[in-house]
Structure 1
């Protein structure tokens, strides 16, 4: 048994400290759940930053599509890169969990106060308990590494959601700005016309001031729309990690229409409970606490050390020669038998179990709310597209006919066109609401609505999380 543990410890000591497989797992999650590949660097090398900067420059050479924006954010967002480094920490913990504790060497040197010579001794000891606890410690470290992988994967999904919302925000702000420019232009025409008519004495002073005030209001609204676009662009800049000379990007597409059909929404709760990475992380936490309790039970003797000791007492007569022999030290759990530590672990386990169950309840509620928001937003978009906009466009067309027949004046025609601009702005708001609801729902279920994130097979041999794509058994071989 001792030789097996020693061999395992030595092989673990040679294991790679680079979290290559853990990063590959996160990369696979992103590819499966977001649809973006080649966005996670598998290794951290000296020129990693230079490679990222070159890739960023390459992506910014063309107008940004949503996929390119997601890829850029996953490569360049510094907050996410900081979270990726947690994989290196967990990988180092796994390697360290498989290593033997360093042996302890001690010695002393004494001089006789009566001039009878020198004495002293040397000892070398090794903790025996730590040797036998290595397998249990590695199981805990594997669970922690698996938990870190899904936590980082969840952060990738959160970042992807934020990028999607920011991307839609820029598209919507640009569309609103164009519509407001149309409204401002119409208000300007009305203002100029009213000014000429007032000079000719054809309208009252009150009417002239009302048209001027409407133009003032439109110009102020235009300034707000311009500011909204600036703020939206800066939000996307933050998500993409851009600054300096990289801010002059453009988007490849305007605000998209809703898809012709919606993915099946009936099984979203089951899918979310199966696929959500924050739930997988909570299950890993429960599993690691269960492993920690088993380790604590196995380590009921706090410390057990064995070694060899050599000594020579002061003097050079018989009985004061060098002696050598084995040594054994055992900590007696008299004053602190470890009950408090064991109770702490049990309370932490119950805490983790309650948290996991509460998170599952919250997830189901979030999915139900997100589904209703998506359905309602879709109905609003369809109503605007099928009823409101055609009706307003018909009103403008009929108003133009009456204007050409001299049945209504210019102001009535301009007001009808202004109503059309307002309806289009409300339609943009409805579209934005749909895409925001879709992004939130995709985060709530743990991936793209149109993709299947399931992965078969167990994750942990000792009981816990199932239904995640992370295979801790594979990660433990690193």
Structure 2
């Protein structure tokens, strides 16, 4: 919609000034600003309450340097499941991409919460020896009328983006925990099968010697040899599984180059002496 304003008339000039003041006041009253944490407050609260870990959205060089210092400090020691989760939350590129999408969603929220900018134009009309100057102020009345509804929709989308970022944080933490325990379990089984292979080899060699003396028949000798071959094949498969599990954990942690030489325990932690009492487990399951 537009309003032609002819400056030869004092009334027209006054009307143009009023319209300009109206649009300026509307624009200033609707100005929105970015939140100090760029929407990360909800994500940080969920991470702290659920998994007791800190999160950070890396947007500056100082943020990246701080995250790298924390990660390197954690990698100097043997990784525990908690330290592995914290490394992933600070160093995983996919998670940082989700946090960047949250920042873009807030940008869309700010853009949709602002009223449309009015357009000013000046034109000259010449004819019959006369010259007229026409000024126009063009504003989108429909956009102004629907501004509250568009702002509410944008706010809901931003809220969904916050929840998606929080969900991605919890999903990554769960995946890191599974990958960590699988990698450690593969190491534990590999140690166990290494001992089993050594025992099977000694037993097969003893069976061969007994067979030469006639103290052990061919069938029992073949059985021991088969057990030794089967144990050797199982150990080779476990070594491959241990390598794959370790590589998956390294990928989830976001490590590369010289940082992939992580130290993992050789055995799983001991099981508790008796089952833990969790009286509120059903309530927690329903609440979450």
TM-score by length of 2: 0.81
CA pair 257-238 structure 1, distance change in 2 beyond 3 A: same
* Residue from 153, 156, 159 that aligns with 1:143: 156
Are 2:25 and 1:9 aligned?
A: no
SS at match of 2:39: helix
Match of 1:219 in 2: 232
CA contact (8 A) 2:38 2:106 kept: no
C-alpha separation between the residues in 2 aligned to 1:200 and 1:270? Answer: 69
The whole-number CA distance in structure 2 between the counterparts of 1:176 and 1:153 is 35
Helix, strand or coil: the match of 1:153?
Answer: helix
Deviation at 1:118, TM superposition (A): 7.3
- Structure-to-structure mapping, 1:142-181, within 5 angstroms: 142-181=155-194
Consecutive unaligned residues of structure 2, counting only runs of 5 or more, are 1-21
CA distance in 1, matches of 2:126, 2:267: 89
Q: Who is 1:96 aligned against?
A: 111
Query: Structure 2 CA distance, aligned partners of 1:211 and 1:269?
Result: 50
1:276 corresponds to: none
Structure 1 residue 23 corresponds to structure 2 residue 26: no
SS of 2:136 mapped into structure 1: strand
CA positional deviation for 1:136: 2.9
Over the aligned positions, Cα root-mean-square deviation in angstroms equals: 2.6
Residue aligning to 1:455: none
Q: Which residue is equivalent to 1:332? A: none
Aligned residues: 263
CA contact (8 A) 1:5 1:131 kept: no
Q: Deviations over 1:241-295 (max 9, x none)?
A: 11211111113583234553142333355313xxxxxxxxxxxxxxxxxxxxxxx
SS at match of 1:266: helix
Unaligned runs of 5+ in 1: 273-478
For residues 276-333 of structure 1, what are the alpha-carbon distances to aligned partners after superposition, in whole Å with 9 as ceiling and x for unaligned?
Answer: xxxxxxxxxxxxxxxxxxxxxxxxxxxxxxxxxxxxxxxxxxxxxxxxxxxxxxxxxx
Does structure 1 residue 267 correspond to structure 2 residue 280?
no
Q: Secondary structure at the match of 1:178?
A: helix
Deviation by residue 1:152-183 (Cα, 9 ceiling, x = unmatched)? 10111111110110111012111111211122
Q: Which residue of 1 aligns with 2:56?
A: 40
Match of 1:76 among 91, 113, 124: 91
Within-5 A mapping of 1:391-470: none
Task: Report the 3-state secondary structure (helix = DSSP H, G, I; strand = E; otherwise coil) of the residue aligned with 2:236.
Answer: helix
Rounded to whole Å, the distance in 1 between the matches of 2:118 and 2:59 is: 32
**What residue in structure 2 maps to residue 58 of structure 1?**
73
